[in-house]
Amino acid sequence: MDLRFTPQEEAFREEVRTFIQEKLPSRLTDKVRTGKRLTKQDLEGWHAILNNRGWFANHWPKDYGGPGWSVAQAHIFEVETALAHAPRIIPFGVSMLGPVLIKYGSEAQKRHWLPRILDGRDWWCQGYSEPGAGSDLASVKCAAAREGDHYIVNGQKTWTTLGQYADMIFCLVRTSTEGKRQEGISFLLIDMKSPGVEVRPIILLDGEHEVNEVFFTDVKVPIENLVGEENKGWTYAKYLLTYERTNIAGVGSSMAAFEHLRHVAQTQLKGGRPLAEDPLFAARLARLEIDLENMKITNLRVLAAAGEGAAPVAESSMLKIRGTEIRQEITSLTRRALGPYAQPFVSEALDEGYNGEVIGPDYAAPVAADYFNNRKLSIFGGSNEIQREIITKAILEL
């Protein structure tokens, strides 16, 4: 593929920049830039702005409400919105479930669920991981037993990101214990308001409520909420993970974070010399920039393959490994560059309207929390160790 942007694609970049300048509220830009907490209303507001322009589901075909963009256009949009400090698009409905429904869902499911994802009527979360099934998703035990025109679901999911906001959850459930473990898994859509669903918060070390445990006790789910065929959910799960791992790599957000890191490294703090003048730090910065450029190319390859209906397993795993390592290195160097200003923060300093004392630059408060939170990047979405096994098996055809 030709990785140079055409004049038309560069013109599209200017269109995106103009749109952001005109439509992205400065209040949201300031909150993202300084690491303030984004509320559900903040995220939904940005989603609505994008949807009004037809740019929310930017990798969906036109027939289903997307803009029908090329891979290059989707990449440009991701990068430009990240550089402009726009809120991230919450991926579970639009970027993960949406492509699965478009490829494997029934026409009735597409007509019902896709418009609700677009206009924000449903906030989705993901039910993959369990206490004994994280990177090894084939070990899921959350069970769904067929009874008449319903499934009865019992079990548990964990690390459910933003599940406290969700209306719906897409789940991998065990519908058979015969044969290979992967052959007994199904893909089910469950209403979070159903009797028997319980959400318990998991409070992280930084005090944030980002993830949850979800428990199912005799939850009734209509059979029409089964995506595709029973016991074929492993196929759909792998297809979804291609999109999830690309999203975890976060090329656009990494580019924005790297530009911020370069600014910090070139800034003179408290009369000292800028860290960019230190040869060792400058060498790490240069190595990081090279790795980031390489990752951008891999990202385009993965998106191009996914856009053609393929599931580039090895490539998406490579992207996930390098992308998470790069994001971790960026936060590590940013914390190092800010020195004592990156010390653990007062939690209230991340709330909008905080008027208390702030030590150091306004963007320093969340740096320590970002560093520690990003340690998880190499674990979720399939740990990097598991990704290396996937790459080995795919390339050697084991």
SS3 of 50-94: the string is HHHHCCCCCCCCHHHCCCCCCHHHHHHHHHHHHHCCCCCCCHHHH
Tell me, what's the pLDDT at 305? 67
Q: Domain 250-396, what fold? A: Butyryl-CoA Dehydrogenase, subunit A; domain 3 (1.20.140)
**Is 124-231's fold the same as 250-396's?**
no
| Beta bridge partner(s), residue 153 | 144, 219
Q: One-letter amino acid identity for 387?
A: Q
Domain-wise residue ranges, the chain: 7-89, 124-231, 250-396
Strand 209-222 versus strand 168-174 pairing type = unpaired
C-alpha to C-alpha distance for 375 and 260, rounded to whole angstroms: 19
Tell me, what's the pLDDT at 270? 63
The second-level CATH assignment, the architecture, of 124-231 is Beta Barrel (2.40)
154, two tokens: 């019992």
Tell me, what's the pLDDT at 150? 97
Alpha helix stretches (DSSP H) within the chain? 7-23, 26-33, 40-53, 71-83, 91, 98-104, 107-118, 233-249, 251-265, 279-307, 313-338, 367-373, 384-396
Query: Cα dihedral sign for 303, 307, 308, 311?
Result: positive
Total-model pTM: 0.86
C-alpha to C-alpha distance for 42 and 35, rounded to whole angstroms: 13
Tell me, what's the pLDDT at 181? 85
280, two tokens: 């060792």
Tell me, what's the pLDDT at 372? 86
Tell me how far apart the 2 most distant CA atoms of the chain are, in Å.
74
Q: Which residues of the chain have pLDDT under 50?
A: none
Strand 124-127 versus strand 168-174 pairing type = parallel
> In this structure, are residues 246 and 299 in contact, taking their beta carbons and an 8 Å threshold?
yes
Closest alpha carbon to 195 in 177, 174, 212, 216 = 216
Closest alpha carbon to 127 in 163, 101, 102, 95 = 163
Tell me, what's the pLDDT at 167? 97
